[in-house]
């Protein structure tokens, strides 16, 4: 059996930008995360923030505009190059640093931060449960972890709605790998259990794209984006909608001692 490896997106940076960041699903994700993060008491004043698996740094740019200092890390050099270029173009180069590093390397040598972000990375890792403990080592006592991951329950639900019955019955296993589609979605209850085992306290849970991906007319994602975004922001912290998000955003607090 081939050993699982963490996914590296070197060579796919432009495709990522075009197919993810510049689409309505990327724009909606950005707005939901910003709403959640900027409401935190910890971010009402400038903070040092570590963004693990930062990719092209879209979230970091927005947080830097609010006065925060960010260290962006990723295993992909091409993704970080784009992040650095965008920071420079936005006049934010003094607030954003980039470092090519894996999570394991970070947890072994990096100083701790009051706020750590880890968005859309967990589902690409070979050992996601171990990653929670590694993230814990990067956070100051009482600090905040913002964790967003691909939702297994939503993937199953969506494929049932689309009529992909054989795919669901086969446990969502597919023969051909889709490069930008996470192949290892995670159970929210399982991720919560990992967080609790690491000593984290749950502060909030948000669904990301609770309605967007289920529209019967996908063209409405673009033509009615403003209305869709407003409704997502209104309902995505309420059940059952929160648990239907294609991604789940957890904000958790590390032990204070």
Coil, strand or helix: which one is 194?
A: helix
| Entry pTM | 0.90
Pairing of strands 247-253, 201-208: antiparallel
pLDDT at 2: 40
Q: 73 to each of 27, 68, 88, 199, 236, how far by Cα in Å?
A: 22, 16, 17, 24, 28
pLDDT at 1: 37
Strand residues in the chain grouped as ranges (E): 48-52, 69-74, 96-100, 113-119, 139-150, 201-208, 247-253
pLDDT at 138: 96
* Average pLDDT for runs of 10 along the chain of length 257: 50 52 90 98 96 95 97 95 96 96 87 96 94 96 98 96 93 69 89 98 98 95 96 98 98 94
CB 236 within 8 A of CB 207: yes
* 53 labeled part of a ligand binding site: yes
* 36 labeled part of a ligand binding site: no
pLDDT at 89: 96
pLDDT at 108: 84
pLDDT at 22: 75
Domain limits of the chain? 13-253
CB 32 within 8 A of CB 242: no
Q: Which numeric CATH code is attached to 13-253?
A: 3.40.50.150
pLDDT at 3: 47
């Amino acid at each position: 059996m081939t050993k699982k490896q963490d996914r590296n997106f070197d060579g796919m940076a432009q495709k990522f930008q075009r197919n993810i960041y510049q689409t309505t699903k990327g724009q909606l994700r950005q707005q939901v995360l910003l709403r959640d993060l900027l409401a935190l008491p910890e971010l009402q004043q400038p903070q040092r923030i570590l963004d693990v698996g930062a990719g092209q740094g879209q979230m970091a740019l927005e947080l830097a505009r609010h006065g925060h200092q960010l260290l962006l890390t990723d295993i992909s050099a091409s993704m970080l190059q784009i992040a650095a270029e965008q920071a420079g173009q936005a006049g934010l180069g003094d607030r954003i640093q980039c470092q090519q590093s894996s999570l394991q390397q970070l947890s072994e040598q990096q100083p701790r931060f009051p706020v750590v972000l880890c968005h859309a990375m967990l589902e690409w890792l070979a050992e996601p449960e171990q990653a929670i403990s590694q993230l814990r080592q990067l956070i100051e006592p009482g600090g905040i972890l913002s964790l967003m991951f691909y939702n297994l329950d939503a993937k199953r639900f969506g494929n049932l709605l689309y009529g992909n019955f054989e795919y669901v019955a086969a446990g969502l296993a597919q023969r051909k790998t889709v490069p930008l589609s996470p192949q290892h979605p995670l159970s929210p209850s399982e991720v919560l259990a990992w967080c609790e085992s690491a000593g984290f306290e749950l502060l909030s849970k948000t669904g990301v794209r609770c309605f967007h991906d289920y529209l019967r007319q996908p063209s409405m994602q673009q033509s009615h984006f403003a209305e869709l975004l407003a409704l997502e922001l209104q309902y995505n912290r309420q059940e059952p909608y929160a648990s239907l998000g294609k991604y789940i955003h957890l904000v958790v607090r590390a032990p204070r001692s």
